[in-house]
Structure formats: C-alpha cells, structure tokens
Amino acid sequence: MSEAQREILRLVAEGKITLEEAERMLNALRPPAGAKGEAQDTGAKGEAQGAGAKGQETVEGESEAWQAQGKRVAEGVAQIMQEVGETVRRTVEDAVAATQRAFEEHRPTTEAVPIKDGRIEIPAGARLKIQQAVRVSLGGGSKGGNVILRASQAGHLLIVRGEAIEAHHDGLDYVLTWAKGNLEMEIPGNLAGLDVRCMGGDLEIVQFQGAMTAETMGGELRVQSPRGIFRFRTLGGRVRIADLELKEGAASVSSAGGDVQIEVSAASSLTIRASTLGGTLDLPPESERERQGRARRRAVCVIGEGAAELRIDTLGGGIRIRRG
C-alpha cells in the first residue's frame, strides 16, 4: 500500500473525511485500466511480433494484480469504518452518559453543608464529588470554566475562587456544585475518593494521591503526581499526567480527539497497555508493539515488575509515554 493510500485511511480513521470521499480519492490513485499495458506495448514496437503474446500475458497479470490490490484497499476501508464506527458509538454513549452524570444535582435525601469563609468541613475518609451545575436566570445561564484542585494537609476544603457554589452530603458522600466561571480549591488529601466532572474548561488536579475519577468535555485534563488508582476520560481534550507512580491496582485513560502524554516515575511497578485508533504510539523502545486491523495500533510497556495496570485508549489521538 502506498503512502498516499495510508494517508487517506488515516484521515478516515480520524473522522476528517467520509467513507465516500475516501473511496473517490482511492479510485483516483488507481491507474486507468490497461495503462501499464499500453506503455509496454509502446516500448515494444521495435521488437519481434512473437513477443506480443508474452506482453498480453503481462498486461493481464498486472490487471489482475491491480484488481486484487483494489479489493484489498476496499476491504481495508470497510474494516477501518467498522472499527471507527464501533469506537465512535462507544464514545458517543460515554459522552451522553457523562453529560447526564454531570447534571446530577443533590438528591432530596441529602443535607446542605454550610460554607463559612470559603471553608467546608469534610471528615477524613469521605468521598467528594465535584460537578458543574445548571442554572438558568434572567442574567443568563451557567457557563463552566477551568477547574484547579490542589491537595492539602488541612482537614477542610478551602474555596480559593468560584461562584454559585453549593455543597450537600449524604453520610460520607459529599457533593459540591458550581455554576459560573472558574473554580479553584484546596481539597483534603485524606479523602477516600475524588470524583470530578466538568464541561467547557480545563481540569487540573495537583498532588492528590487517593483514588479518583475525572471527566472533561471540551477541555484538557492535567494531573500531577497521582499515586492511587484512577479513571480519566476526555472528549475533545488532551490528557497530560506528570510524575505517575503506580504499584498496584488498575487505572485507565480514555480520550476522544486528544493526545495522551504520560511521564512515569521509575519507582512504578506498572504494565501499560496502549491502544489508539487513527493515532500514533511513542513509547519506550522496549515496548512490544502489534497492529490490529488497518488503523488500530497497540503496544505493551512494562516498567519495573509490572504489578499495576494502566490501560490507555484514544480515538484520533496519539499516545506518548516517557520515563521520569
């Protein structure tokens, strides 16, 4: 397969051109029927007439070869569309589910938590959920912004910046919502779990080392020094993880339309399973690579003893892994 054909298939996988457009472009790359045979006939005019039969056999053989190649390309496009279709379907379903979860407000059984001087008291071992709320008023609707969360040793949550913030809890499950602009907070480092969902802005989590889930739609996700298991997902944004250290458990990163860049600490005991549809893989040279289908690329990278597991999956985005 030529480089031009590979480029067309890559564009299909990334969703930049349709199947019909790809088919027209692939057809344009194929030489006209008999073109090679005509060139051979022209070059053979001065030769003996007995070579005509052999030339005809050559033309027929090349014609069959072009037909076979055309069939392989068509099958390749069909296979890519099948892979892309399934991945896009899952991505859309995930995006819809994430949107529904992001708009979950506090349940009737929850109890309001007072906010005093920007502080919210949260007991050790609690689970904190932070999500954007929906508010509609005469002054306009909600507009999400960037979110910055920094772990601290304090036993309370401190709001550094944010508007229209509410907090509720049901036992040890705490829910914080905000409706306007940027949100910046210091959160307790002794939480049992952190769950953050935002739309339209970047999300940055610094030095939180417990279990966490983070989802963004339309923004970039940046995480520094994670040590616990996590599940990160973005739609239309890049994922960047610095100083990752995992020694047990299973974590995952999923991105549709964005790259994934991870710097792994040498102290990790981690097996990374990377998979991209339409993107590139940039992993340490000792990684084991394999190709599944026409556009799907997979690789496995083991760091240390490989006890923990990290799965990375992208649609249209590249994956880059670096050792710290």
User: Greater confidence, 12 or 263?
Assistant: 263
The mean pLDDT of 65-89, rounded to a whole number, is 53
Q: Which domain holds residue 168?
A: 103-189
Considering the domain boundaries, does residue 150 fall inside one? yes
Instruction: Please check whether residues 70 and 42 belong to one and the same domain.
Output: yes
Distance CA 1, CA 19 (A): 18
Both structure tokens of 180? 């306007």
Q: Is the pLDDT assigned to residue 201 strictly greater than 80?
A: yes
What distance in Å separates the CA atoms of residue 115 and residue 113, rounded to the nearest whole number? 7
Residue 109 has pLDDT above 90, yes or no: no
Q: Residue 45 pLDDT more than 50?
A: no
| Paired tokens of 118 | 């920007």
* Torsions phi, psi for 35 (to 5 deg): -60, -45
Domain match, 88 and 111 both: no
pLDDT score, position 63: 55
Distance from C-alpha of 66 to C-alpha of 245, rounded to nearest angstrom: 52
Instruction: Reply yes or no on whether the pLDDT at 108 is more than 90.
Output: no
In this structure, are 289 and 234 located in the same domain? yes
Same domain, 143 and 64: no
Within a domain: 318: yes
Lowest-confidence range among 62-76, 134-148, 283-297? Answer: 62-76
Residue 198: pLDDT over 90:
no
CA dihedral 80, 82, 83, 84 (to 10 degrees): 80
Averaged over 62-72, what is the pLDDT? Answer: 55
Asked if the structure places residue 195 within a domain, the reply is: no
- Taking only the tens place, the pLDDT of each residue in 263-313 is 999 999 999 999 998 889 999 988 888 765 566 889 999 999 999 999 999
> Helices 35-43 and 52-102, interaxial angle, to 10°?
150
Handedness of CA 217, 215, 148, 320 (dihedral sign): negative
Is the model more confident about 192 or about 200?
192
Please say which residue of 59, 80, 102 terminates a domain: 102
Residues 128, 113: Cα–Cα separation, whole Å: 13
Last residue of a domain, one of 189, 207, 238: 189
Residue 210 inside a domain? The answer is no
pTM of the model: 0.69
pLDDT for 224 beyond 90: yes
SS3 at position 119: strand
- For residue 277, what pLDDT is reported? 85
Distance of CA 282 to the CA centre of its chain: 15
User: What does the pLDDT read at residue 206?
Assistant: 98
Q: Which two tokens stand for residue 148?
A: 């910055």
Q: Quickly state the pLDDT bin for 86 (edges 50, 70, 90).
A: low
Q: Which amino acid is at 89?
A: R
- Mean pLDDT confidence for 167-194: 93
Q: Check whether 210 has a pLDDT greater than 90.
A: yes
